Structure 1
Amino acid sequence: MVIPPGLSIHPSNHCCKPKKSLYGLKQESRKWYEKLSLLLLSSGYVQAHADHSLFVKATSSAFTALVVYVDDIVFTGNCASEITNLKTILHSHFHIKDLGQLKYFLGIEVAHSSKGISICQRKYCLELITDSGLIGCKTTSTPMDDSLRLHQDSSEPLADPLSYIWLVGRLIYLTSTRPDIVFTTQQLSQFMVAPTQTHFQAALRVIRYLKGCPGKGLFFSHQSSTNLLGFSDADWAMCVDTRRSITGYCFFIGNSLVSWKAKKQSTVSRSSVEAEYMALASATCERLLTSSRMF
């Protein structure tokens, strides 16, 4: 580091010891999280074992939870006084900015009503359609052609593979609120290294599908129960190149969808029964993880 003007150090082999973490250093994020977590723990909050960015405080009459993403914090709970008290504590240490009721967070739009909470990525989706140059295209009713089996074919390779990587990368983030494109995105993400025109056209079909329903998302009802319900399935030998199967599962809390996934299995299954058992094992792991977050 450069010695600040007006400060002289003798002898020259001495160094400066900062009293707090400097912005931009690789240790900064660790020190920030350490200070924040210690403050929350001293205020009676418990850190979740399954997700260290989740802090919860539960009493006989109140429940408060907060989730941390870098320096953005989302609060929720059934006790307004506890949330106000926590904001006061955080403001006294970090000078926070209160943005009010959650409406927009990391590209996710949140809408509140008397029936529940709905989330979507409409703005993000419209930006994706515009940046892809398909704002005036015709829509399609499905994200993928049912008769198409994507594989490493011999069609013409893309002249600019980065455009395909950019497109699929944005689709992956869109799956945060769009489980209807999870399987298609999983298929497209297999060909990041050497995409072809066939793969690119399949990715553009997803954009055409999204144009027909950019505001589709998830709804969490206030009247939903807390029962955890899960489903798992496997598509045996789905991958044409490796003959590996595809695992798929989803989990509901009451009527609200909270977790979903589509992923190629790590080994080749010799029967459909073996593929189903491997999918069930993955779903069981997710079930344990989800239940550990429910407190």
Structure 2
Amino acid sequence: MFTKWIHGRIVVLLVYVDDIILAGDAQKDIDQVKTSLSKEFKIKLLGPLKYFLGLEVNRTAEGLMVCQRKYCMDLLTDTGYLNAKGCKSPSDPKIKLTATQGTLLDDPEQYRRLVGRLHYITITRPDLTYSVQQLCQFQKKPYTEHLQAAYRVLRYLKSCPDQGIYYSSKADLKLVGFCDSDWASCPDTRRSTTGIMMISFTKRNKLAVRMVIVEIGY
């Protein structure tokens, strides 16, 4: 990513191999950078941003919607889940995945490839982060139970492939943050899982093991 300031206005150039996004505060600054690039390189202008590395962008006067519907549909097609019955949640709260019990997969690479593709979808799907974070922990020795849990995420995607992140253009936007944690949910380590969402969102295991439940609130 490259940035340039022109009289207090910013222009941002994002490059991934031969795919480029150019954005800025003023159209004239963007045009200036495009002209400079065209003098040095052979470029093809594709117009307003609509698709980039699997991310679909829909821009209106009210805001910006970013989703990965095509990527999700391609994943469902590749895995044979395009016609599967959908479900209402990405994971079953009654099932606790563990690294010590189950039947090892004959082909662990199948699991790793699937989890990797699911992980990419979390760019625009905060609702998947917890479930995918759980699946990522078992890539070294995945069991059939872990693969079934990954298949449930596919069924959930089948029910809502076009969901994503919406950025409002309203000037009265307020920043509201939430943080929550469970208590010793991992059956293998007894560590808690914390979820945070602000500008960017994250999901990770706690490094410490809390001995009493009242400590979780801090």
Q: Shared fold by TM > 0.5? A: yes
Number of the residue aligned with 1:240: 187
Instruction: Measure, in 2, the Cα distance between the counterparts of 1:224 and 1:134.
Output: 41
Shift, 1:121, TM fit: 0.4
Give deviations 1:46-101, integer Å, cap 9, x for gaps. Answer: xxxxxxx25242535x4433333344331222311111001111222233322211
SS of structure 2 residue aligned to 1:130? helix
Aligned residue among 81, 101, 104 for 1:157: 104
Aligned residue among 192, 200, 218 for 1:259: 200
AA partner of residue 206 (structure 1): V
Number of the residue aligned with 2:40: 93
Number of the residue aligned with 2:3: 55
Going from structure 1 to structure 2, the CA distance change for 1:261 and 1:86 (only over 3 Å counts) comes to: same
Matches within 5 A, 1:8-19: none
Larger radius of gyration: 1
Going from structure 1 to structure 2, the CA distance change for 1:91 and 1:205 (only over 3 Å counts) comes to: same
Give yes or no for the alignment of 1:212 onto 2:159: yes
Aligned residue among 137, 146, 149 for 1:202: 149
Shift, 1:177, TM fit: 0.5
Give yes or no for the alignment of 1:123 onto 2:64: no
AA partner of residue 91 (structure 1): S
Question: Larger deviation: 113-122 or 166-175?
Answer: 113-122
Q: Is the 8 A contact 2:196 2:202 kept in 1?
A: yes
Number of the residue aligned with 1:268: 209
Going from structure 1 to structure 2, the CA distance change for 1:67 and 1:230 (only over 3 Å counts) comes to: farther
Going from structure 1 to structure 2, the CA distance change for 1:151 and 1:58 (only over 3 Å counts) comes to: farther
Instruction: Measure, in 1, the Cα distance between the counterparts of 2:170 and 2:50.
Output: 21
Identical positions, percent:
44
AA partner of residue 147 (structure 2): F
Shift, 1:235, TM fit: 1.4
Number of the residue aligned with 1:18: none
Structure of higher RCO (CA pairs closer than 8 Å, 6+ residues apart): 2
AA partner of residue 172 (structure 1): H
The two structures have a TM-score, normalised by structure 1, of 0.69
Runs (5+) with no aligned partner, structure 2:
none
Q: Is the 8 A contact 2:54 2:71 kept in 1?
A: yes
The two structures have a TM-score, normalised by structure 2, of 0.91
SS of structure 1 residue aligned to 2:137? helix
Number of the residue aligned with 2:197: 250
Matches within 5 A, 1:128-139: 128-139=75-86
Q: How many pairs were matched up? A: 218
Runs (5+) with no aligned partner, structure 1:
1-52, 252-257, 278-295
Instruction: Measure, in 2, the Cα distance between the counterparts of 1:56 and 1:272.
Output: 49
